[in-house]
Amino acid sequence: MKILVTGGAGYIGSFMVKRLISRGDKVHVIDSLERGHKDAIDSEAIFHQMNLMDWDEVEQVFSSSQFDAVIHFAGYISMEESARDPGLYFCNNTSGSLEIIEHCKRNNVKNFIFSSTAGVYGNPIKIPIPEDHPTNPVNPYGESKLMVEKILSWFNKIDGLSYACLRYFNASGAAIDGSMGEAHDPETHIIPKAIEAALNNNEFKMFGTDYQTQDGTCVRDYIHVLDLVEAHILALEKLVKDKGGYIYNVGTGKGYSNKEVVEMVKKISGINFPIVELERRSGDADSLVADSSKIRNELGFNPKYSDLETIVKTAWEYHSKNSK
């Protein structure tokens, strides 16, 4: 298939590009590189450095190749940043996505996979969280993604665009050989932050130890990036086979507490870095764990790398090789 991957220089997008190329797809990448890395893009992909919102340039990419599908990762990812600057998120994540969807319409691209987030649920009233749980984002990041989900449902109804919104829980881990991994700047995710503390023997900041969880720290559902990418392959196969609009959680259904995560980083690294316990941050839910039965039952999703030990081992391998 001929596939356009936006955000293919980012963490998850670069793994997706590699996986598509390994199955023989022809892959184009659009990325501005403002938050990605050119060297993360597989050399067999055709790379177009441009912003999603450069209408004429992006239209040129669409009109010169008839894509079978678009997998849309490009966007900003920080809840904290979105709470400081909501306009940035509604512009880049919502308007940027709308423009890509509109290019699909004009160029007769019929399949679209969207990187959504568990953040669309807000503070859950039910754990594990099924897809039909109420959506009530607590920050502009989650809202910016939910708006795109709604936009897609209209393009499906009116224009016949088939789509899958994949609501990722916590993407994590790295290539098994440590050759590719997560390199956000600034980094806000707990596993790379804890690894950074181990590598530099800095203190690790634990925000909140009085949550309603078994050890008082937040519980999250971690999905290894290799499993996450596989969920996109399954979603793509689904869209090609059964036209429609689909929403799937991508998580494992098992949660790990922040304390468990940090203990695992200590175990894998062999470094007993100090932990400082701080007040809660606002907006952190006690527990966010996916009900992953829909994607397992409908698409046969079966994560292979998403146990905490494999996630942390692969992330450690990557960061210890690439630490500056």
Ligand X SMILES: NC(=O)c1ccc[n+]([C@@H]2O[C@H](COP(=O)([O-])OP(=O)(O)OC[C@H]3O[C@@H](n4cnc5c(N)ncnc54)[C@H](O)[C@@H]3O)[C@@H](O)[C@H]2O)c1
Which amino acids are annotated catalytic?
141
Least separation, in Å, of the C-beta of 285 and ligand X?
14
Q: Which of 148, 239 has the CB closer to ligand X?
A: 148
- Using the minimum distance from each CB to ligand X, give the nearer residue, 10 or 128: 10
Complex with ligand X: residue 62 or 271, whichever CB lies closer? 62
Minimum distance from residue 185 beta carbon to ligand X (Å): 9
| Closest to ligand X by CB, 35 or 110 | 35
Q: How far apart, in whole angstroms, are the C-alpha atoms of residue 93 and residue 73?
A: 10
In the complex, what is the shortest distance from the CB of residue 41 to ligand X, in angstroms, rounded to a whole number?
Answer: 9
* Degrees to nearest 5, angle at CA 221 with 218 and 222: 115
Judged by beta carbon, residue 168 or residue 204, the one nearer ligand X is: 168
Q: How far is the CB of 287 from ligand X (least distance, A)?
A: 17
CB of 273 to ligand X, least distance (A): 23
Strand partners, 276: 205
Q: How far is the CB of 201 from ligand X (least distance, A)?
A: 26
Cβ atoms of residues 214 and 258 within 8 Å: no
Nearer to ligand X, 79 or 160 (CB): 79
Closest CA to 73 of 107, 105, 118, 29: 29
Tokens of residue 213, six digits: 């969880």
Q: How far is the CB of 202 from ligand X (least distance, A)?
A: 23
Alpha-carbon distances of 65 from 3, 41, 289, rounded to whole Å: 9, 19, 39
For the chain, the three-class secondary structure string (H helix, E strand, C coil) is CEEEEECCCCHHHHHHHHHHHHCCCEEEEEECCCCCCHHHCCCCCEEEECCCCCHHHHHHHHHHCCCCEEEECCCCCCHHHHHHCHHHHHHHHHHHHHHHHHHHHHCCCCEEEEEEEHHHCCCCCCCCECCCCCCCCCCHHHHHHHHHHHHHHHHHHHHCCEEEEEEECEEECCCCCCCCCCCCCCCCCHHHHHHHHHHHCCCEEEECCCCCCCCCCCEECEEEHHHHHHHHHHHHHHHHHCCCEEEEEECCCCCEEHHHHHHHHHHHHCCCCCEEEECCCCCCCCEECECCHHHHHHHCCCCCCCCHHHHHHHHHHHHHHHCC
Q: Based on CB atoms, which residue is closest to ligand X, 13 or 137?
A: 13
Interface with ligand X (CB under 6 A)? 7, 9-13, 30-36, 51-53, 73-75, 77, 92, 96, 115, 117, 168, 170-171, 184
